[in-house]
Amino acid sequence: MEAPPAAPSYGGAVPSPYGANPVYGNDSAVPPPTSYTGGPGSYPPSYGAPAGGYGGDASGDYRGAGRGGPPSGGYGGGQRQSSGGYGGDAPTSAEPPKVKQCDENCGDSCDNSRIYISNLPPDVAIEELRELFGSIGIVARIKQKRGYKDQWPYSIKLYTDDSGKNKGDGVLSYEDPSAAHSARGFFNGYDIRGHKINVTMAEKSAPRAPQSF
């Protein structure tokens, strides 16, 4: 009767029934590739990838860098702006365009039909101004959604203070710009109950920007 085989000592190689290398884990198990030049305490590089990982730089800070992007910009983008978005320049507020005002060289091509009237008596009424200035042209009306045109209010505005009293000035619009340009020659210095009124062309305002939807 044969004696049973002796059990291997601890630390020795154990035969594997699956055909594995019995000396797996020893230094002579799998030799490193000949192209590997790192020391025993380092990991071999990945297949063809640089040491910086995923195409990033070699600074070691991979959290801020995207795959191939700079560390500060994310995936190739620029710095985040305070107004939102990445990489764009900060928005600049455009200055409103300057509008050419009427002067002595203003020609027939000017479309300004508004005049400014000052030094009016405090008891002046809109109908009184309409009759006076309407003698040289048709005073424009303010378009309304309802009613006929001859029922719309006249485009005459008298400025008032906080208590509702007339401040002595106002603006009037004509339908024809040529009437507005000739109003100064007719009515500048005209006396209304002891008040010599001043008539000039009203300032033109800048056109409104189209609304964005």
User: At 85, is the pLDDT very low, low, confident or very high (cuts 50, 70, 90)?
Assistant: low
Region 56-79: mean pLDDT is 50
Non-local CB neighbours of 166 within 8 Å, separated by 6+ positions: 120, 122, 123, 124, 158, 159, 160
pLDDT of residue 63: 52
- Measured CA to CA, the distance from residue 79 to residue 66 in angstroms comes to 13
Beta strand 191-192 pairing with 195-196: antiparallel
Give 58: exposed, middle or buried? Use CB within 10 Å, 0-12, 13-18, 19+: exposed
Number of other CB atoms surrounding residue 56 within 10 Å: 19
Q: Could you tell me the residue ranges of all domains in the chain?
A: 14-71, 114-201
CA distances from 178 to 75, 95, 135, 142, 201 (A): 63, 31, 14, 19, 11
Q: Which amino acid is at 181?
A: H
| Per-residue pLDDT at 56 exceeds 60 | no
Per-residue pLDDT reduced to its tens digit, 116-161? 999 999 999 999 999 999 999 999 999 999 888 889 999 999 999 9
CATH of 114-201, one of 3.30.70.330, 3.40.50.620, 3.20.190.10, 3.40.50.300: 3.30.70.330
Are 94 and 103 contacting, i.e. CB atoms less than 8 angstroms apart? Answer: no
**Per residue, what are the HEC states of the chain?**
CCCCCCCCCCCCCCCCCCCCCCCCCCCCCCCCCCCCCCCCCCCCCCCCCCCCCCCCCCCCCCCCECCCCCCCCECCCCCECCCCCECCCCCCCCCCCCCCCCCCCCCCCCCCCEEEEECCCCCCCHHHHHHHHCCCCCECECCCCCCCHHHCCECEEEEECCCCCEEEEEEEEECCHHHHHHHHHHHCCCEECCEECEEEECCCCCCCCCCCC
Are 163 and 90 contacting, i.e. CB atoms less than 8 angstroms apart? Answer: no
Its pTM stands at: 0.51
User: Which of 80, 58, 57, 82 is closest to 70 using CA atoms?
Assistant: 57
Residue reference for tokens 């710095």? 79
| Per-residue pLDDT at 55 exceeds 70 | no
Tokens describing residue 121: 């008596």
pLDDT of residue 102: 72
